[in-house]
């Protein structure tokens, strides 16, 4: 059995050595324990294991990533300002990249932590715009519109609290004023599809994703037995997020 060994030399050897050095540098760089690098994901998992909090792991790893980003930026700016040297220009670019991407996971984690344990019921608007199907258009106009309420659209329910549909101020214009007294709100209300409602036990995080995906400002909240709880609006979610972080109900 004959074996052959070939020594690589000359330009090819130099190219291979350079490629190996670059790959090693990239591997070591990627192991830095700060997001968005792979080392940050490893560090995040370790902190998660120790603190039993996935959010703390993300925040810690994100902060380390930001610190490394600033360090890289400073190491690139100082030679440039003092000596006019662009030798560390890549440090500057890498620092900006890391700094820009390291903060997003932390903000994302803080948002999720604030919403932990909260459901759609927790942010239902007080005194939601709900009217009974038994009201005439005249009663609806007097009680809900002429009384100074600022709502534009109202939810219509039956005697059992089940959601039937919605009625808006513009819907009144389809019926002559003289007929308002003998016309029920159900005559002009618009039906509501089940897909356009939120379950009262649905997590607030899922609700946010739903509103964002459908580009809606609010949706009706329905309990498990079909009874209307109220309306949930983006403004109520924003107010909830502005509150100090507390131990939310699990």
What confidence category does residue 121 fall into, taking pLDDT thresholds of 50, 70 and 90? Answer: very high
As a whole number of angstroms, the distance between CA 170 and CA 26 comes to: 62
Answer whether 0.75 is exceeded by the pTM: no
- Using CA atoms, how far residue 85 sits from 72, 90, 96, 97, in Å, is 15, 12, 18, 21
Percent of the chain scoring above 90 in pLDDT? 30
Listed range (83-92, 165-174, 201-210) with the worst mean pLDDT? 83-92
> Which pLDDT score, from 0 to 100, does residue 174 have?
92
As a whole number of angstroms, the distance between CA 124 and CA 113 comes to: 20
Crossing angle for the helix pair 54-83 and 38-51, to the nearest 10 degrees: 140
Degrees (nearest 5) of the Cα angle 248, 161, 235?
Answer: 40
- What residue ranges define each of the domains in the chain, with the CATH number in brackets? 13-115 (no CATH), 120-240 (3.10.580.10)
Q: Would you say residue 3 has pLDDT above 60?
A: no
Place of tokens 């902060």: 63
SS3 content of the chain, % helix, strand, coil (to 5): 55, 15, 30
Residue range 198-209: average pLDDT? 91
Please check whether residue 198 is in contact with residue 228, taking contact to mean a CB–CB distance below 8 angstroms.
Answer: no
- What would the pLDDT profile of 62-74 be if each residue is shown by its tens digit? 888 888 888 888 8
């Amino acid at each position: 059995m004959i074996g052959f060994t070939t020594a690589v030399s000359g330009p090819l050897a130099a190219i291979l050595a350079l490629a190996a050095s670059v790959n090693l540098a990239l591997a070591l760089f990627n192991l830095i324990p700060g997001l968005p690098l792979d080392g940050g994901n490893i560090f995040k998992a370790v902190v998660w294991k120790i603190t039993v909090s996935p959010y703390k792991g993300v925040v810690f790893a994100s902060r380390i990533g930001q610190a490394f980003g600033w360090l890289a930026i400073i190491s690139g700016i100082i030679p440039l300002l003092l000596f006019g040297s662009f030798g560390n220009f890549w440090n500057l670019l890498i620092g900006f990249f890391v700094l820009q991407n390291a903060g997003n996971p932390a903000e994302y984690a803080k948002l999720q932590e604030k919403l932990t344990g909260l459901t759609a019921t927790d942010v239902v608007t007080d005194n939601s715009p709900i009217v009974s199907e038994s009201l005439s258009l005249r009663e609806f106009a007097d009680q809900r519109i002429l009384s100074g309420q600022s709502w534009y659209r109202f939810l219509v329910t039956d005697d059992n609290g089940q959601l039937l549909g919605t009625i808006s101020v513009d819907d009144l214009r389809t019926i002559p004023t003289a007929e308002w007294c003998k016309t029920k709100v159900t005559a002009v209300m618009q039906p509501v599809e089940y897909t356009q409602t939120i379950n009262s036990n649905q997590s607030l995080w899922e609700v946010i994703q739903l509103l964002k995906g459908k580009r809606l400002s609010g949706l009706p909240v329905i309990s498990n037995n079909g009874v209307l709880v109220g309306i949930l609006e983006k403004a109520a979610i924003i107010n909830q997020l502005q509150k100090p972080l507390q131990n939310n109900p699990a």
